Copies of this chain bind each other. A is one copy, B any other.
Amino acid sequence: MPTEEFVVTPYEVRGAIDYDRLRERFGTQPIADADLATLRELAGGTLSPLLTRGVYCSQRDLARLLADHRAGRRFFLYSGRGPSGPIHTAHLIHFHLCRWLQERLGVPMYIQITDDEKFWLRPGTDREETARFGRENLLDLLAVGFDPKRTRVFFDSRSIGTMYPLATEVAKRITYSTVKAVFGFKPETNIGLVFYTALQTVPAFYPSWRTGHPVPCLIPCGIDQDPHFRVTRDLADGLQYPKPALLHGQILPGLSGGAKMSAGGDRADDALYLNDPPAEVDRKIRRAFTGGRATLEEQRRLGATPEVCSVWALWRTQFARDDLEFETVTRDCRSGAMMCGECKEKILGRIHPFLEEHRRRREKARDYAESLILEPLPGGTDAAHAPELPEP
């Protein structure tokens, strides 16, 4: 087990994460086999590999959400993206799970693009540029394959008129001392960031607020985002809305060995971007940090360690064609039957067509992306420009 102390907050991930200890620290629950069985049944007998392979490792209130859904109180999905730059493969994980859930259960999906937060968070950034990243990122998220009829977008800087009434309600119920304790804000934190969590709460309650009766919400997100939604959940009772349920994904490792795949400063090669040119993809994968041994001879004899390998994380989350391929890759890695070089060439054979297909779907999303963004109509009504979703 890792012994080094690890840190996980919405604004910092550091060290080797022990997920058992992190669940204890956060007060979340593991995903029970019974919950997976219920979900499999609701989904018509299948489960997303992201669930069967343990990529999602923690939850809040999942059993209640699924029981409600089965009883006819259907849920909706909410996940988001802070547009700090181009999107990399790890960003897509939660959207892959959401798409799978939407496809199988027919539920609505709200995507939030938090361009205001990223502008407030990152010194020296430009508001227009952050919004531009938001528009680009949204195309990538929609390329995952959401049903436009069942998907709407809160694009903070654009949707503020739709979001502000509920954000105003919510903000009155959150004290500075709460956000200071939860996010570790300091006196020099700007007042935009202090306010921001009110906006991240809006999509979770929006359908309940609009319809006037409780609509359950499921939020698949990185476990580092849990503190935001703890604030949201604490508000639910006072507002008489259902507490959103959460499915927490593990933090995916970077290609150069970082704890979290990220665009951070000196780790330019840490992330595989969806817009990386093919030669760049080849270079990053061939250099990627693995669980291999010091010499080929040693590795053939002793095998490698997939659990610490950044390439295995890609097989596990996105690039194995099916469970058989994933199990074969894992077994051959562990046994020493497949060397890291061979494994990398093999996964490149999956990544290149994936990125090509992604770019095709991304271009198609341009046709309808704008029409999914919630914006208010002038005239003081709360009516949105993009039609709101029917209830689930």
**A→B interface (CB under 8 Å):** 116, 119-120, 127, 157-158, 160-161, 164-165, 168-169, 171-177, 179-180, 185-192, 194-195, 197-198, 370, 373, 375-380, 385
With the chains together, A173 CA to B175 CA distance in Å?
21
- Are the C-beta atoms of A175 and B192 separated by less than 8 Å? no
Residues of chain B within 8 A of A173, CB atoms compared: 190
With the chains together, A165 CA to B169 CA distance in Å?
21
With the chains together, A195 CA to B173 CA distance in Å?
14
Within the complex, the shortest CB–CB distance from A242 to chain B, in Å, comes to 21
- Are the C-beta atoms of A188 and B164 separated by less than 8 Å? no
With the chains together, A110 CA to B371 CA distance in Å?
33
- Are the C-beta atoms of B177 and A190 separated by less than 8 Å? no
- Are the C-beta atoms of B171 and A177 separated by less than 8 Å? no
With A120-B171, A168-B116, A169-B127: A176-B160 Cβ-Cβ less than 8 Å: no
With A160-B160, A185-B176: A192-B190 Cβ-Cβ less than 8 Å: no
Residues of chain B within 8 A of A378, CB atoms compared: 375-378, 385
With the chains together, A161 CA to B370 CA distance in Å?
17
Contact of A195 among B180, B191, B380, B385 (CB under 8 A): B191
Contact of A191 among B164, B176, B186, B190 (CB under 8 A): B176
Contact of A198 among B157, B191, B380 (CB under 8 A): B191
Residues of chain B within 8 A of A376, CB atoms compared: 161, 375, 378
Within the complex, the shortest CB–CB distance from A222 to chain B, in Å, comes to 23
Contact of A157 among B165, B187, B191 (CB under 8 A): B165
Within the complex, the shortest CB–CB distance from A350 to chain B, in Å, comes to 36
- Are the C-beta atoms of A187 and B180 separated by less than 8 Å? yes
- Are the C-beta atoms of A187 and B175 separated by less than 8 Å? yes
28 A/B residue pairs, CB under 8 Å, sorted by A:
A116-B164, A119-B168, A127-B169, A157-B165, A161-B376, A168-B192, A171-B190, A171-B191, A171-B192, A172-B190, A172-B192, A173-B190, A174-B190, A175-B188, A175-B190, A175-B191, A176-B190, A176-B191, A176-B194, A177-B187, A177-B188, A191-B195, A192-B198, A194-B195, A370-B380, A375-B378, A375-B379, A376-B378
